[in-house]
Structure 1
Amino acid sequence: MADLSSSSFPASYRWRAATVADAGAIHGLVAACERELLGRPETEPDGIAADLALPGLDPAADTLLVYDSAERLVGRAWVHGGRRSAVDVHPDHRGRGLGGALLDWAEARARQAGGERLSQTVSDGDRAAVELLRSRGYEPFVVQWLLEIEMPAEPVVPGPPPGVTWRCFRSGDEEAAYRLTEDAFDEWQKRRKSYEEWAGHTVERDTFAPALSTVAFAGDQMIGAVLALNVPGTDEGYVERVAVRKDHRHRGIARMLLQASFRAFYREGRRTCTLWTHSETGALSLYQRVGMTVRRSSAVYGKALGGE
C-alpha cells in the first residue's frame, strides 16, 4: 500500500487496506454517497465484489479504507493497474480534507504501480468532486450518459433480418458472448479484458439475468448480444452490455435485441429500462432512435502523472 504520512488525515481517523470481506461495508458507503447525490443507490453489492476481485488488483496494495473514531467506514479509494481509480467520502464527513487525502494516496499508488496517467469517473452533478479534480490538474476526456426508456405499453420486437435468428441467453453462451463483446469494444477500449475480468462484471454477477438477456445468430455464429441485470429492490431494468459484430451492423440487430430485452423486462413488471453508454462508442444516436433519452451524465477525468 502506498505510504500515507501521519498528517494526511485528521487525528481522529484511521485507515487500512480492504479485504474481500469488506464488500458489504463498502457498498453501504457507496450507497450513502449515491443516495445523497442521486436520491437513491445505483451500485449493487455484486458490483463492489467484482471490483475487489478484478484480476491484477491486489487489495492489500491497491485499496484504502478510512474509519472515523466510532469505527464507521467513511471513505475509500482503489487503484487498478495504475490507470483507473475511484474515491468516495461519506456525505457526513466531507469538507474535512478526506477526499484530497484519498486522491493523494491514489496518485501515489498509481505512480508506485508504474502508471503514467490516472483516471476517475465523476457525476456531473457532484460539483465538489469535479472542483477537487480540476484543482489537481485533472481534465475530462470522455462523456458518459445514463439513458432511460419509459415503457407504458409492451415493446414491439421487430422481426430479424434475413439469415438471422435470436433467442434468450443460455448456459454455454458465455465464451461466445465474451469474444463478441470484447471484439466489438476493441474499437475504443484501451485494453482487452481477460475472460475472468469480463465475466466477473457480467455473467458471473448474482444479478445477471439470462432470461432477460438476448443473443442473435447467423448460422451457428453469435453476432449480437444484449446482457441484462435483474436488480432486486428496483422497479427498473438494466442493460449491462450491447454488442453487434462489425460485419452485421446497420441491419437492425441491436434494435431487435434491445426491444426483446425491454419486452422481457416489461413482462416482469418493469416499466423503465436504463443503460450506460459513452462518447467513445458512438452509440448514443442508436439508443436515441430506439426511444431512449438522457437521464444524467458523468465524465471521465484524467491526469498525467509526473514524478513525486
Structure 2
Amino acid sequence: MTLIAPVLPFGYHARPARADDVPAIHALITECDREVYERPRKDVGAIIADLGRPRLVPELDTVLVFDRTGSPAAWAWVDRRSEIDVHPEHRGRGLGTALLRWAQERGRQAGADRLVQIVPDGNAGAGALLRAWGYDPLLTSWLMEFRMPDEPALPRSPTGVSVRPYRDGDGPAVHLLVEDAFDEWQERRAAYEEWALRTVERPAFAPDQSALAFADGQLVGTALALDVPGADEGYLEQVAVRRSHRRLGIARLLLRHSFRAFHRAGRRSCTLWTHSDTGAVDFYRAVGMGVRHNSTVFRKELRSPAAT
C-alpha cells in the first residue's frame, strides 16, 4: 500500500513514528497536556498502547513531525479514531490542518467509514478546525475529580460482597468482566492483549490502588487504577460492575476503596473520565465527584459525498 505523506508547512519534515520515538512523543504530549490540564494526562504506556493497536500499522498510520532543529513539533495516528497533538510552540502554523488532511486521506485509503477525534474544550482552536472540516459533535466527555484532604470513609459493603486489591493472575477474569460490562456502548470487544496494554501491563498500573469486588466467590466489579508519573493524583482507568450486580452500591464501594488507597499513598485527589453515552456522570456526582475538564468527541463520515 502506498505511503501517504502529509503536506507540511515550510521548515517541517515528517516520517512514521518508531518504537524508539516513544520518549520524545511522550514529552511532546506532556507539553500539550500541561497547557490544557495543568498536569500530565498520559504516561509512556499509553503511547505504547496506541502504537500497539491491533490494526494500526505504524509505517502507514502514524506521522511524527520535526522542526528545523530536529525537535518533535507534532504527531498523529489514525485507526478509525485519530489523535493529533501539536506542540504549543508550533501552533498557528498550519500543522494541525496538514495532519487533519493526512488523517482523512489515510482513513479513506484504509477503508474507514468515519473518523473520531477527541478535543479538550479548552483547546478552542482545535474544535473550530474540526467543525470547519465537517466534523460534528458526537459525545461529551468529562474528567471527574474527587478531592480528599481527609482519608475517605468506606461505605457499608452490600451483603455477601468483599473487596480486595488486584493480584497477579487476576487479569483474564477482570478483562472478561470489563468487556461484558462495556458491551452495551462500545463499538467492539478488545482482545486481552490489547486491553492489558492499556491497563494491567502499563508501567503506571497501580495494583495496590485497584479494587476488585467479589460476591459468593464471583468477580462482580473492578476499579483499575493508574499512578501516572508527575500527575500527583490517582487516576481510575476503568470502573465496571457486572450487570446482574448493579444498583447494589458496589461501584460506590469500589471507588471508595481506590480513593482511600490513593490517599494512604499520599495523593489528595483522584480522577477518571466518563462520557455521555455511559450515563454515569450523575452517579459520579452523587459520590462526591465534580467536573474538572470537558472534552468533545467529534465524528466525520468519510464516505459521504460532501466529505472534504
With the length of structure 2 as denominator, give the TM-score of the two structures.
0.96
Q: 2:52 aligns to what? A: 53
Distance 2:232 2:18 in 1: 32
2:209 corresponds, among 203, 208, 212, to 212
The answer to whether the 8 Å contact 1:2/1:105 transfers is: no
Which residue in 2 is equivalent to 1:187?
184
**Which amino acid in 2 is paired with 1:56?**
R
For residue 117 of structure 1, what is the aligned residue in structure 2? 114
Corresponding residue number in structure 2 for 1:141: 138
User: Match for residue 287 of structure 1?
Assistant: 284
Find the aligned partners of 1:34 and 1:151 in 2 and give their Cα distance: 23
Equivalent-residue separation in structure 1 for 2:39 and 2:18 (angstroms)? 26
1:3-82 correspondence runs (5 A)? 3-4=4-5, 8-80=7-79
How many angstroms does 1:40 deviate by?
A: 2.7
Q: Distance in 2 between matches of 1:40 and 1:167?
A: 30
Displacement after TM superposition at 1:134 (Å): 0.3
The Cα RMSD (Å) is 1.3
Q: How many Å separate the matches in 2 of 1:84 and 1:34?
A: 19
Shifted more, 32-41 versus 185-194: the winner is 32-41
The share of aligned pairs that are identical, in percent, is 54
Do the aligned residues in 2 keep the contact of 1:55 with 1:196 (CA within 8 Å)? no
- CA apart distance, 1:10: 2.3
Amino acid aligned to 2:282:
S
Partner of 2:127: 130
- Residues 147 and 270 in structure 2, CA contact (< 8 A), matched pair in contact too: yes
- CA–CA distance in 1 between the matches of 2:93 and 2:126? 13
Equivalent residue letter for 2:301? A
1:141-166, CA deviations, whole angstroms, 9 ceiling, x for partnerless residues? 11100000111211111222112221
1:131-185 CA-to-partner distances (Å, cap 9, x unmatched) read: 1000000011111000001112111112221122211111111111000011111
Match of 1:300 in 2: 297
User: What corresponds to 1:200 in structure 2?
Assistant: 197
The letter of the residue matching 1:293 is G
Q: Give structure 2 stretches of 5+ with no counterpart.
A: none
Distance 1:36 1:287 in 2: 26
Distance 1:210 1:41 in 2: 20
Counterpart Cα distance in 2 of 1:11 and 1:235: 39
| Pair 234,195 (structure 1): closer, same or farther in 2 beyond 3 Å | same
Partner of 2:185, secondary structure, is coil
Listed one character per residue, the Cα deviations across residues 198-227 of structure 1 (whole Å, up to 9, x for unaligned) are 100000001111111110111221000000
Equivalent pairs counted in the alignment come to 304
- The answer on whether the counterparts of 2:83 and 2:117 sit within 8 Å (CA) in structure 1 is yes
Shift of 1:2: 4.3
